Homo-oligomer: A and B are copies of this chain.
Amino acid sequence: MTATVIDGRMVARGVREETARRAAALTTAPVLATVLVGDDPASGVYVANKRRSAAAAGIGDVHRHLPGTASEAEVAAVLDELAADDRVTGILLQLPLPGHLDPARLVERIPPEKDVDGLTTRSQGLLARGEPGLRPCTPAGVIALLDAAGIGLAGRRAVVVGRSTLVGRPMAQLLLGRDATVTIAHSRTRDLPALTRSADVLVAAAGVPGIITGAHVAPGATVVDVGIHRTSDGLVGDVDRAGVAPVAGAITPVPGGVGPMTIAMLLANTVAAAQTREAAR
């Protein structure tokens, strides 16, 4: 037996098409503002991808590119201007920022209703309480992927490996919101294989290449790989796919699994923010 491969590119395409339909149904087009500080090549590519995908979904584009020497006050002023701009429905501050800037302090300037990355304290508080709000894109993408693959969550054992603010912690909250029994594991966890073998749904978000092996997986379990690492063998995830595929029931590949979902959920959040605004008028 070999695990079913969950095709993230196909699911992401469906989310993007649905998002484009919802965007077209709005009276005023949604607008995504992207803010890039400095000239990190990877960040430049990510932002370009996001802008291109947004345009393809009928989302308007506002872009601000600041030099890597910009002061925190200068970045803050740009965020404040976008916060005040009624046309802008979503604001994305591309991370990481140059080292002299405080990302947490700057992210807080994004109004919660435009926080399409779901990273402000308020958005994370709403998530922690299980209240409506904009959710971080990568974990929201994992849920959408599981839904599309028909993987049930209510009453199932879910184990999240990794406790980052960006992925692991909000992932655990979203799984709990779907009535899974959720465990969050991390570098201090003892006997990780025994723990992860109790999972019906295992989400690997440790940021360690190949940390999840066949010995970590129960037969038939669903394994979601959030890791992405550039190695001499090409892109690999947190999951040792060759070892896990013969054991798992379903698996997300790297690349082409969770990765494509992140941008798709960013677009979905941008349109959801615009819908909320329109409904409030």
Contacts and interface: CB of A to CB of B under 8 A. Distances in A.
Contacts of A173: 128
A128 B125 contact: yes
Interface string A184-202: 1110111000010010000
User: Oligomeric state, in number of copies?
Assistant: 2
A155 B128 CA distance: 23
A143 interface: no
A272 interface: no
Interface in A140-195: 154-157, 163, 165, 169-170, 172-173, 176, 179, 181-186, 188-190, 195
A126 interface: yes
B165 A129 contact: yes
A69 interface: no
B125 A169 contact: no
A270 interface: no
A181 B189 contact: yes
Give the one of A120, A123, A190 with max B CB within 10 A: A190
Given A121-B125, A130-B165, 12 more contacts: A104-B131, A121-B129, A122-B125, A125-B126, A128-B128, A130-B169, A154-B188, A169-B176, A179-B186, A179-B188, A181-B188, A183-B183
Interface of A: 104, 120-131, 154-157, 163, 165, 169-170, 172-173, 176, 179, 181-186, 188-190, 195, 198
